[in-house]
Structure 1
């Protein structure tokens, strides 16, 4: 008897994007996206908070570059990108990440409305 395959679909993957200065807002977005049955790819380090991993300035610079590259890889994997922008704040790094996501053709959502440009 032939083996029957059951079609499966995976949940959508969303990458979170936003300033780590709003770490609590990123965590809250992660919670809501997870509760909405989405796989969440989020920043894993908040280098604005002291930690032994990045207390050496030279190592911190290298780690920052490595983390930026890793984060772009998360956008590559994602089905969509959620910009976490409390109070409408979007910094320079987030603007670059939005441009990168757009270059990939990723749908982009925002936690707060943004003015049309």
Structure 2
């Protein structure tokens, strides 16, 4: 069993949720993105956005690997920084397009 943090753009929320479910059914412990429920991500204040980012980095620290959901090879700025952070920690980086 691997502990894997999911990374990717929130515009692919439904696909990310499907992939996370599939990877869980394959026996992986999946740590997922926090999806905004009350507001869109753009309406949160800077402190809240920073907290989301910090907690996502903590999930990456706890993980064996990250799974980058890169639909149509799209990797946004935030996801790219998460990839770089994971690599700096020596974490395995798995791309959805590789599965």
Fold match (TM-score > 0.5)? yes
Higher-Rg member (1/2): 1
1:15 counterpart (5, 23, 42): 5
Structure 2 stretches lacking a partner, 5+ long: none
Higher relative contact order (CA 8 A, sep 6+): 2
TM-score (norm 1): 0.76
Higher strand share: 2
Could you tell me which residue of structure 1 aligns to residue 71 of structure 2?
86
Whole-Å separation in 1 of the counterparts to 2:72 and 2:4 = 21
Q: How many residues are paired up?
A: 98
**Offset at 1:12?**
1.3
The structure that is helix-richer by fraction is 2
CA distance in 1, matches of 2:64, 2:75: 21
The alignment's C-alpha RMSD in Å is 2.0
Q: Provide structure 1 residue ranges, at least 5 long, that are not aligned to the other structure.
A: 1-10
Match in the other structure for 1:63: 48
Runs of 4+ residues deviating >2 angstroms: 52-55
